[in-house]
Structure 1
Amino acid sequence: MASSTTHTTLKVQLQMEHIRTALTKGSVVIKAICGGLLFFYFTSIFVENETLLKTLSVTPGLVFPPSFRVWTLLTHPFVETHIWNAILGVLAVVICGKFVEPVWGVLEMLIFFSIVTVGSAVTSSLIYLFIYMGSSNIYYLFDTHFFGMTGVIAGTTVALKQVIGDQELPTGPIKVYVKDIALLHVLISIILKLVGLVSGTYPCLVVSGILAAWIYLRFYQKQGDSKVRGDMSDLFSFASFFPEIVRPPIAVVSNTVHGFLVRIKVCKKQVRKYDVGAPSAITITLPGTDPADAERRRQLALKALNERLTRVEQQTDWPSMDDQPSTSDDASLPPSSKEDAAADKQDVLIDMEESSAATVST
C-alpha cells in the first residue's frame, strides 16, 4: 500500500515537473494566455462575479447589434470563477504549446486560439438566439453568459488529433487514443449537463469549439509556404471523430453538407491532380497534403516505431551478433555443422541489413 502511494506521488510530481518545464520554455503566447487566465481568476475573488460577467463575458443579446459588444468575444475565455476550471485551462494551453506549437509556430498558434475563441462564442450565441426565437424566453438572450476556456480546451483536442492523433493515452487496459478525446469531451459535457453539474452553456461551448477548430484546420489553415490550405486527408475528416461503426452514415451527411457549401462558394471543391508525365510513378497531389506535413507524419511514425523496438529490445535479452562463439563450441561441431552455422549467421546479417534499408526508404 505504501509503495503504491509513493509511486503515485512520484508520478504526480513528475507530471508537475513536465508542466513546469513546458510552461517555462513556452512561447510568449502561451505564457500570456496562462498569465491572463490566472490574473482574471484572482481578480474575480475581489470583484463581484455578476459585474465581471456583464463586462467581460459574452451575452447573446448584447454581442449582436444594436449593443454590439464585440470585445467580449476576445475577453470571455479569461473569465473564470472556479479554480479547477482555471487549472484545466492552463493545462490545455500548456499541452497545446508543448505538442502543437513546435509544429505550427507561434504565429499560427495565436491565430488558432483567436479563431477558436471568437468562433465558439459566435456559434454559441447564434444557437441561443435560435433557442430564444423558438421559446420567446428572454432568459436565453440577456441572462445567459458564455465565459471560460471551455471552447478553447475543446478546440485544443482537435489540434492534438491532427498532430498526434495516433498516440495512445496511459488509460490502463482500455485503449484510448488522442484522436478520441474530442468525442469523449462532448459525451462527458452532455452527461454533466444531464446530471445537473454544469449549465447548458458548457456543452454548447464544447461543441462550438470543436466545430470552429475543425472547420479552420480542415479548410483554411495555411500549410507552410505553399498555397495549399487545410488538411483534406481522410484521417481528419468529420466522420473520423466517430467510431468506425457509425462513420458511413455520418460521412454521407457530412459530404452532402460539404457539397452544398461548395455550391454556394463557402468551401472549395477537393481537387486531385495527376502528373502522368512524371518520369517515375504517377504523382498525386491532394489539397491539405503538404510535403512538410507528410514529412512530419513520417517522422512521427518512425519515432513511434523506434520506441516500440526499443521496448521490445529491453524486454528480450537477445545475444549480440558481434559475440564470437567460444573455441570449445566450434571444436565440438562437425565441419558440416560449422559451415551451416556460418551460412545461417550470414543470412541473418543480410536480412538485418535489408530490413534496415527498407525502414530508411520508408
Structure 2
Amino acid sequence: MPPRITLPPLTRALLLALLALSTLNAILRTRMWTTLAQSQPPPPTASKLVATAANYLSSPSLAVPYLVLVPITSLRYPWTFLSAALVENNVVSLAISGGVLWVGGRYLERAWGSKGFAKFVFFVTVIPNILTFSFYATWHIITPTPEFPTPIQGLLALSASFLVALKQLTPDHTVSLFKGAIKLRIKHLPALFTLANIISGPLLGTETAFWLSLLGFFTSWIYLRFYRATDINASSAATGGQGATMTGDPSDAFSFASFFPDAFHPFLSPVCDAIYSALVQMKLCAPFSPESVEAGNARSRSEGLPSLLNGGGGGGRRAEAERRRALALKALDQRLNAAAAATGPGSGPGGASASASATTEERTAEDVVAAQGVQAT
C-alpha cells in the first residue's frame, strides 16, 4: 500500500479554502463573461475569439469584489483582505499555489504548531493586502480612476513568506534542481523569488505581483525577526538552565543581509544596522542582548529540515533532544579514549586510579545519554 500522506489541520483547511474560493471565483467570472459575450456581436474571426478568451483571465471588469480586493470597492467587504489571498484566476497559478501550501504549510505547521502557524498566515496575508490595497486606492484617488480598478489577489505574499520562514529554520540547506545541475541555498531563495516578481511584474503587466511578493518578504521577516515569540530550550546556557520565551530571532543567520550573497554584506550591513538603531531609539522594537543572540545562534544550528519534515508536531523539540544526545555520546567516546590512553602500557603505578576514574567518567556519561533518551521520548 502507498504511504498515507497526512496534512496538519490548518494546512488542510487552507487548501480546501483555496480550491473552494478559486472554483467559486471561476464560476462567477464565467457567468459574467458569458453575459458580456452574449450582449455583444459575435467575434468575426478566430483571433478575436482568442482575445476574448484571454480577456476572461485578465480583464479587471470581471473581478468579483466580494472575493478579491478591488481598490475602494472592497471596503464594503472587509473579509476580502484575507480571502483575496486564496483566490486564483487560472489552473496554472492554482496548481502552483496549492503546491506551495501543501509543502510549506505542512512543514511550518508541524514546526510551529497550528496556533503559531495561524498567526503567521494571518499577518503575512492581511498586512501585505492592506498595504497594497492602500497604495492602489490612493493612486486611484489622486489620478483619474479607471472604469475597472486593478484587482488584488493570489498567494504570492504567502509564497514569499514561506520562503523566508524556511530560510529561518534551515539557513544552510541546499536545494538541488534538475538532478543536481542547479544548486540553490534556501537562504537566497526569498530574495531571488522577490527579484523575479519585481522584474516580471512590469514586463508581464502583473504589477500586483511586484507589490505582494515584496511586502510579503518584508512583513514575514519583520514579524519573525522582532515579534514572534519562541520557546528557548530549558538547557540553554543563555537562560541559566531555565525555560524561557524569546521574542524574535536575533541570530546572525537571520539578519537582513544574510538573505543576499556575501559580496553585498559590506554594503548592506551598515545600512541595516543604522535602521535597526533608529527603530530601537523610537521604541518600535526591543534591542537584542548578547545572550539572546547567542541563544538564537544555537537554536538556528540545532534545527534541521529532515527532522521537521519527517516528524509530526514538536519536530523542533525532537531535533534538539537528538542533538543533545549526540553530544553526550560524543563526550562519552572522548572520555573512553582518554581513559584508554591513561591506562596504557606506560601509565605506571597510577594506572589503577586512572582506570577507576575512567569507569566513573563512563558511568557519568552513560547517565547523561540515558537522561537525553528519556527527554527525547
CA RMSD of aligned residues (A): 3.4
Structure 1 partner of 2:209: 202
**Residues of 2 paired with 1:52 and 1:75: CA distance?**
13
Q: Specify whether residues 251 and 142 from structure 1 end up closer, same or farther in structure 2 by C-alpha distance, changes over 3 A only.
A: farther
Aligned length: 272
Please give the per-residue CA displacement for 1:339-360, whole angstroms capped at 9, x wherever unaligned. xxxxxxxxxxxxxxxxxx9xx9
Query: Offset of 1:206 from its aligned partner?
Result: 0.5
Query: Offset of 1:129 from its aligned partner?
Result: 4.9
Query: Offset of 1:113 from its aligned partner?
Result: 0.7
Query: Offset of 1:292 from its aligned partner?
Result: 6.1
**Residues of 1 paired with 2:189 and 2:222: CA distance?**
17
Query: Offset of 1:62 from its aligned partner?
Result: 4.4
Structure 2 partner of 1:53: 64
Query: Offset of 1:266 from its aligned partner?
Result: 1.2
Structure 2 partner of 1:4: none
Structure 2 partner of 1:267: 285
Bigger relative CO (Cα 8 Å, ≥ 6 apart): 2
Query: Offset of 1:286 from its aligned partner?
Result: 3.1
Alignment map for 1:229-248 (pairs within 5 Å):
229-248=247-266
Please give the per-residue CA displacement for 1:53-93, whole angstroms capped at 9, x wherever unaligned. 31122234346xxx464221111112111111111111111
Query: Offset of 1:207 from its aligned partner?
Result: 0.4
Q: Structure 1, unaligned stretches of length 5 or more?
A: 1-16, 273-283, 307-356
Query: Offset of 1:157 from its aligned partner?
Result: 0.7
Sequence identity (%): 25
Does residue 26 (structure 1) correspond to residue 44 (structure 2)? The answer is no
Structure 1 partner of 2:158: 152
Report if the CA contact (8 A) 1:101-1:109 is conserved: yes
Q: Secondary structure at the match of 2:181?
A: coil
Report if the CA contact (8 A) 2:85-2:153 is conserved: yes
Alignment map for 1:195-344 (pairs within 5 Å):
195-196=203-204, 198-224=205-231, 226-272=244-290, 284-286=291-293, 289=296, 295-296=302-303, 299=319
Aligned AA for 2:230?
Q
Match of residue 173, structure 1, among 160, 176, 181: 181
Report if the CA contact (8 A) 2:252-2:297 is conserved: no
Alignment map for 1:67-106 (pairs within 5 Å):
67=75, 69-106=77-114
Structure 1 stretches of 4+ moved >6 Å: none
Report if the CA contact (8 A) 1:100-1:163 is conserved: no
Q: Secondary structure at the match of 1:170?
A: strand
Aligned AA for 2:221?
W
Aligned AA for 1:61?
I
Structure 2 partner of 1:314: none
Q: Specify whether residues 85 and 230 from structure 1 end up closer, same or farther in structure 2 by C-alpha distance, changes over 3 A only.
A: same
Query: Offset of 1:39 from its aligned partner?
Result: 1.2
Please give the per-residue CA displacement for 1:205-262, whole angstroms capped at 9, x wherever unaligned. 0001111111111011110273311111111111111111112222222222222222
TM-score, length of structure 1 as denominator length? 0.66
Report if the CA contact (8 A) 2:164-2:220 is conserved: yes
**Residues of 1 paired with 2:173 and 2:299: CA distance?**
20
Q: Specify whether residues 189 and 285 from structure 1 end up closer, same or farther in structure 2 by C-alpha distance, changes over 3 A only.
A: closer
Structure 1 partner of 2:198: 190
Report if the CA contact (8 A) 1:155-1:210 is conserved: yes
Does residue 122 (structure 1) correspond to residue 130 (structure 2)? The answer is yes
**Residues of 2 paired with 1:53 and 1:248: CA distance?**
47
Structure 2 partner of 1:347: none
Aligned AA for 1:233?
S
**Residues of 2 paired with 1:137 and 1:157: CA distance?**
37
Q: Structure 2, unaligned stretches of length 5 or more?
A: 31-60, 232-242, 305-315, 327-364, 373-377
Report if the CA contact (8 A) 2:86-2:155 is conserved: yes
Aligned AA for 2:27?
F
Please give the per-residue CA displacement for 1:77-136, whole angstroms capped at 9, x wherever unaligned. 121111111111111111113322222111111111111111111222344356557x62
**Residues of 2 paired with 1:194 and 1:162: CA distance?**
30
Q: Secondary structure at the match of 1:195?
A: helix
